[in-house]
A and B are shown apart, each in its own frame.
Chain A
Amino acid sequence: MTAENNKIYLYPVWLRIWHGINAIGIILLILTGIRLQYSELSLMPMDFSLAVQLHNIFGIIVTVNYFIFFVGNLVTPNKKYYKIKPKGLVKRVTKQVNYYISGLFKGEESPFPISEKRKFNPLQKYAYIFVMYVFVPVAIVTGIALLFPELIIEQVYSVSGVFLTAILHGSVGFLISIFLLIHIYVASIGKNPLDNFRSIVNGYHDVHPSEKNKKS
């Protein structure tokens, strides 16, 4: 079931459903968020209060969805891909970075090819850990706080708590947007730019097709 020809089954159904909802939710949050934050630039012809409502609704959807991810990663084998291994971490990440900025163009092979044991390369892994266990939770917590402002500390020194929360929410939202930009771009690196997008929909990943094709 896992391997047919040179395909491996990487993304189980629950993960793909989670990822799909998350992708749509986050993209809409980013678009409505930009509409709200940069109101004065009139970037989008959307009614302000409609944007507020959509942003709130998708914020709640993504939050609920996040718990699917969180619990899924606790109880299924998928958790193994998120184990932090401090030893040699910097070295492994640097190696992957070097591959992206030079090795890739020299025709070198990926230093950490995808296998059932290693779904993510080191750079990918730590980026995902950071986004999913730091950025997104911060966005969720500050988002909830802005929906329930009575939860927020009145004042941090002499600065308003609501104001700080709003700044933090906006900033982390921005960082997630930048992550998404790079995420989508890096996903297009493969033999065929659409390969990885196909994988996250049907669950299967082609192993080493690039090496085979390159030699022929």
Chain B
Amino acid sequence: MPAENSHCLNCHANHTYSFFNEWLEVETKRMMNPFYVLDSINYVAGVHGGFSCTDCHSPDYETYPHNAELKLEPLATCIDCHGGDDTYADYQFDKIEEEFQKSIHFQKSGESFTCSKCHDQHYYRATARTSSNVSEIVSYNNNMCLSCHDNALRFETMSSEESPKLSQVHDWLPNQKLHFDKVRCIECHTVVVDSFMVSHNILPKEEALRNCNDCHSSNSMLKASLYKYENLQARSEDGALGALITNEAYIIGANQNPLLKLLSFIIFGLAVIGIAIHWIFRIVKKSK
């Protein structure tokens, strides 16, 4: 990291900061606004880790107290620097922007929903591309979404509505925690486009994927053996009876066979119709 950053980080990487109060002519120590504290280790690991703070922020920040008008300073977006630049063609910034503009976030919030709302420019790492650890990618990606959807305060900065509780919205999804640990939110919430590494078109909730079979049907064998394994595991941990009753059945609901499902609806329908007809005849007969 460039050496000049240490000046800013003296204050912005600590929970307290001190400065010389020129009016009173005393050295003053205060607490730092926790939202303005940067994580310098994460910063260096990010794609822009080699930047000095003033590459993006105004050099006027060198002085403290910062000039109040600096709050109004427009900051560069990803596209301002990366748009149309062949060096990064591989990342398809422009196409991503196009896709993002179709997404529900942009549709509802417009320009104020910037790329930076998900991609913190200080820390962003292209994990999907560089990491070989699936669970790291999943948690990195999902934390981007959770930074709003699991944080009422941050959500409020974007919307006047109350943030719906994710655990309730996904109530129908068994083993939510496991799914959120193992599956990316975008897996269900975007259309996957083959030409993209990461699809950016977050769909309205009505179009989100909820069909278990899309993920679960192809290798039911794997699921079955896992079910057995997990069940035994849980029992040895929680003691026999507790685990018996709370067992997290692996294939519950995911064992749906489309044919049987259709058949079950047909038989149920016929039974109901049969009963209805019989009943109507009984009423007609009685009223005669």
A residues neighboring B (CB under 8 Å): 36-42, 45, 47-49, 52-53, 56-57, 60, 100-101, 104-105, 107, 146-147, 149-150, 152, 159-163, 166-167, 170-171, 174, 177-178, 181-182, 185, 189
Contact = CB atoms under 8 A, between A and B. Distances in A.
Give the 8 A-B CB pairs with smallest separation, nearest first.
Answer: A160-B224, A162-B224, A39-B253, A149-B228, A166-B255, A48-B174, A56-B245, A42-B172
A205 B231 CA distance: 48
Interface of B: 171-176, 210-212, 220-221, 223-225, 227-228, 231-232, 244-253, 255-257, 260, 264, 267-268, 271-272, 275, 278-279, 281-282, 285
A52 B252 contact: yes
Given A39-B172, A52-B249, A56-B245, A105 B281 contact: yes
Given A162-B227, A162-B228, A166-B251, 7 more contacts: A36-B253, A37-B252, A39-B252, A162-B224, A166-B252, A170-B260, A171-B260
Q: From DSSP, what is the main secondary structure of chain A's interface residues?
A: helix
A57 B153 CA distance: 40
A57 B176 CA distance: 22
Given A57-B245, A149-B227, A163-B224, A39 B251 contact: no
A163 B248 contact: no
13 contacts: A36-B252, A37-B256, A39-B172, A39-B252, A40-B212, A40-B253, A52-B246, A56-B246, A100-B278, A149-B231, A161-B224, A163-B220, A163-B255
A182 B221 contact: no
Contacts of A56: 244-247
